Structure 1
Amino acid sequence: MGKATLLNQGRWAELLREFGIEGEAATFEALIAAYTQKHRHYHTVKHLEHCLREFDSARELAGEPAEVELALWFHDAVYETRASNNEERSADWACELLNRHGVEPARVERVRALIMATRHEAPATTPDSQLLVDVDLSILGADEVTYAEFEKNVRQEYFWVPSILFRRKRAEILESFLARPQIYNTPPFHARLEAPARRNLTAAISGLRR
């Protein structure tokens, strides 16, 4: 994870104190173990750390920053490419932690909703979910080399899907983002990433549809 990693127990403990929770080093270790599973190529600790770094750059936009950050820690905690309920199971894990420590039900449900927003089935509707989704999708606006690596890693995670089917389904997913009036909803992310994201998506779709 590197010497300067944001994925450290100090940060984790500080975050949990915002919910009135002490300890939970075992959950921290379990999360790191989940993000380092061998079948992951993009949805790894590198992705999680990138998300935390992006979030740190825009933390002031969050209404409930602790809830957004906790949702980021858990949003890909469960990741099985043959399953369709990864976000739900990830949200269940986060909510089990919060419920076990008696966190206010309204906060628990907000965290659940934030994690479920990363299904990306529709544009996010609340300010905190818009920030979370912008962070998660920031890879779409990366430089061309980084974006190409992202696509390669996603393909590796779906190695078991026949090429023709993968290319069609992947193109449909990317087209759904491109069809949105705007990919990024928060002003800083929109200003910085909207144009490069649209260039990356257009090029990727063209390659997939060949």
Structure 2
Amino acid sequence: MTRRRLLEASLDTLSDVGLAGTTVSAVAARAGVSRGAAQHHFPTRDSLVEAALEEFFAERTQQLRSSVAKLSTGSGAAAVDAVDEVVTLIFGFFSNRPFHAALHIWAAASTDDSLRELIVPAEARYGREVYQLTALALNADLSDQHTRRLLGLTLDVARGLGLGSVLVDTRKHQNDAIKTWSRILDGIKRND
């Protein structure tokens, strides 16, 4: 229970004040636990950030997996609606507080070699998982090179919109992008 509260508080702290302000003491205070209890679970900020990232990626992947399982499937008009649902889901995963917290960590990792060593493999695993789940949700034929490229671009567009949402309200732009990108993805090759 304490560990869980610390991990949640670390993501909130990262999102609010960035990596520089995310200390074990600040996270402990936010979680409502003593510094000693926090250090029992996470002796250093790096160990706390690493665990928070692993938890973040595991939770986000599980949430996406569950959401994909709930999406409707079909053909014709139902398939177009399903594409809209998938694009809305994917874009939403890159435009929220947990994503904003991750951005702070990625920015810090650009100048911190030890942090980069933690981030790059975790981000690569997460990216592959999101890509595979997106392909599954769209019933995409991954043997088709054009389809694979469009799926990769989908994640790039989602990340870009998510990055923009850190500074300004991008909801209207994101809604327009979802409509446009859904029409583009409606033409991908699908598995039979």
Fold-level similarity (TM above 0.5): no
Q: Place the TM-score, normalised by the shorter chain, in its bin.
A: 0.3 to 0.5
- The structure in which a higher percent of residues are helix is 2
Alignment TM-score, normalising by the size of structure 1: 0.32
Alignment TM-score, normalising by the size of structure 2: 0.34
Q: Which has the higher contact order (CA 8 A, sep 6+)?
A: 2
